Structure formats: C-alpha cells, structure tokens
Amino acid sequence: MTRPLDGVERVLVDLLDEVLAPRGFRRRGRTWTRGGHPVLAMVTLQRESSFAALLVTIAFTPATDPAPTTLRQYQVRIRAERVHGVSVQALRALDLGAAGGVVDRDLLRSGLVDPIARLVAGVTDLSSLAVALGTEVSRNVFVHADLRDALSRE
C-alpha cells in the first residue's frame, strides 16, 4: 500500500539531493550530513507521528570525534518553518490535508529547499552559525546550553 505523501516525499528527497550534494552533503536514507568543517550540519526529512505531514529539520553541532549520528545529538536544531525565506505555501505542500495530492516541484524548490540550502551552506564554523542564528532564522530554535555561551561570544 502506498502512503499518501510518497509523491511529495519522493520529490522532496530528489530536490534535497540536487541542492545539498554539490554543497558536500551525503545522504543516508532521509538524512543529509556534511562534515569537514568545524561545525557539522544535518538536514533530516521525517514523517510526523500521525503520518499526515513531513517535517524538515536542520541541525548543527561543533565537530567532534566521533561525529554525532542522530538528530538528538546535535546542539542546534531548527524546524524548517523557522528559516527565513521558507514560504507558507511550501510548508502547506508538506501537509496531506492541504497538498491535495498535487506536487509542485518549483514551489518546493524555491519556497523550501533553496532557503534551507542557503542556510546550511553558509554555516561552517561557530562564527557563521552565530550570524545565521541572528539573521536567517527566527528566535524559536533549540540551542543547547553548552553551546549558547560559546555562540554569544562569537
């Protein structure tokens, strides 16, 4: 049996691959990670518990050895709707009730994937993360207490 959002999910995975791979991200399942910088980045695509919508989360953490493998291990977590430039229409396309079965690839690209890509591409160290948190996302994001002090000094 096909799940209702398979079409939207498939298009979104393809778009994220197109945009994130050239920026050094590697995909495993529905998770894209980028290392090689002082700050690691992760983009995840998840189904909400009701399976009625998709959730895109962006995460950052200082590079450590070994690298974190799950979203919960990242010290900064941002839901896509908190990223400036993400459109309400694109977010509605992730909601089964509003999507109506139609997948608008251009809308998902310009209203969701491109703003996320701009955010993650610009964050490579703590200084650029501090700038991004101050200019590219709303204030309601998770920042672990251990990192909050370091970011305030940047």
Q: What pLDDT, on a 0 to 100 scale, did the predictor assign at position 68?
A: 87
To the nearest whole number, what is the mean pLDDT of the chain? Answer: 87
Interval 3-15: pLDDT, tens: 545 778 888 999 9
Contacts of 22 (CB under 8 A, 6+ apart): none
Residue 61, pLDDT score: 94
Q: What's the pLDDT band for 96 if we cut at 50, 70, 90?
A: low
pLDDT digits (tens, 9 = 90+) for 108-146: 999 999 999 999 999 999 999 999 999 999 878 999 988
Determine the Cα–Cα distance for residues 154 and 83; give it in Å rounded to an integer. 21
- Walk across the sheet containing 76-79 and list its strands: 26-28, 31-34, 39-47, 54-62, 76-79, 142-143
